[in-house]
Amino acid sequence: MDEAYLRRFLLHMITGRNLYVAQESKRGLGIAIDEGHFLDRADDIPKWSRMLAHLESNPSTE
Partner 1 sequence: MTIGGERGVSREALKDEGLVSPAPHDAIITRARELLRHRSSGPDSQRGRDEALVDPEKLDRFMSLIDAQGVENYHPHHTGMGADFPITSVDLNKLATDYLGQSKVGERSSQPPAPNEKEVLDYVLFSGYLPPPDGHPFTTWDMTYDRIFRLLGKVKNGASVRVHIVGYPWAIGGTTSQEWQKHVHDEGFDAYGRALAPYLKTLLEEKPGSRVVLQANSFGALVSDAIQARLLEVYKRDPSQEDPRTKIKVLLDTPADNATIARGIRFSTLFLAEFAALFANPKTRDFVVAMAQDSRAFNIFLKKHTSDSQEVTNSIVDTKWDLWHMIKGRVLKAPDEFRTFIRRSWKF
Query: Which spans of this chain sit near partner 1 (rule: CB under 8 A)?
Result: 1-2, 4-25, 29-30, 32-37, 39, 41-42, 44-56, 58-59
Rounded Cα distance, 19 and 31, in Å: 9
Is residue 41 within 8 A of residue 30, CB to CB? The reply is yes
Cβ count within 10 A of residue 38: 14
